[in-house]
Amino acid sequence: MIRAVSIAALTLVALPVAAQTNVPGDPYAGDPVGIVAAPCPAHPSPTDGAGWEAWKLHSLTRDFGQLCRYRAQNEQLKASNTPVRVVFMGDSITDNWIGADAGLFTGGLVDRGISGQTTPQMLVRFREDVVALKPRAVHIMAGTNDIAGNTGASTMEIVQGNIASMADLARANGIKVILASTPPAAAFPWSKDKQPVPQIRALNSWLKAYAAKNGFTYVDYYTALATPEGAMKPGLASDGVHPTPAGYAVMRPLALAAIRRTVATK
């Protein structure tokens, strides 16, 4: 009986499997796959809701970490030999920051946020978007979209592990680490069934303790932005989650102070 089961198992292993992920209706299903020299063909930006949904599905199945987003900019930055002081790694809150306060991202401060991303996606692109740029420090702000469930279910320990893995990669490459608190949110407009307040508080408690244990800098945006109930203060967010220019104005001096504590100013 055991031998029969073993033979059956080997037979199953030997069967061919579908090697590529093809999503019905994907307008870019003909994009390159496998090991190629140019993996990032240009696509027009979506112009409607259906287009954005197709684009998101394509990204999740063909470019999960969205390494194509900054590929060209990264190559230009490396070719210019411009010294990078700090890379800001994050989701939409980081992605939107440069639009609200472009003046912050000068003098070697580089924005590498991508809207909607969760910590596993950030971890996938961490080498290309952070390590390869050889910054002196990395500012990691994450967790909002994991709590919202953007790429499915997870556990708090998995999210913490993803952040810890990014910090490990940075430290192994001589890059100092700034861990930012997850900003406050009482609710997510795109994921209305979630109740994020206690989970954000728990994640921030872990981030602060983990930073202290490992000698990293912790920057506490949460306390400056939150009401006692755990929501964004009025006027500091457009939708209760994403900071307005006024919200980023509160965050800016905290970020700069954290950078000064982490990397000396020449």
pTM for the whole thing?
0.89
φ and ψ of 89, to 5 deg: -100, 130
Q: Look at residue 24 in the predicted model and tell me its pLDDT.
A: 74
Q: Which residue stretches of the chain have pLDDT < 70? A: 1-21, 265-266
Q: Look at residue 138 in the predicted model and tell me its pLDDT.
A: 98
* 3-class SS of residue 125: helix
Provide the b/e sequence for 189-198 (b: ≥16 CB within 10 Å). Answer: eeeeeeebbe
Q: Look at residue 44 in the predicted model and tell me its pLDDT.
A: 83
Treating both helix axes as pointing N-terminal to C-terminal, what angle do 197-214 and 156-172 enclose, rounded to 10 degrees? 30
Q: Per residue in 55-88, pLDDT tens?
A: 777 777 888 999 999 999 999 999 999 999 999 9
87, 112 contact by CB (below 8 A): yes
CA Rg value for the chain: 20
Q: For residue 164, give the nearest of 147, 145, 143, 185 by alpha carbon.
A: 143
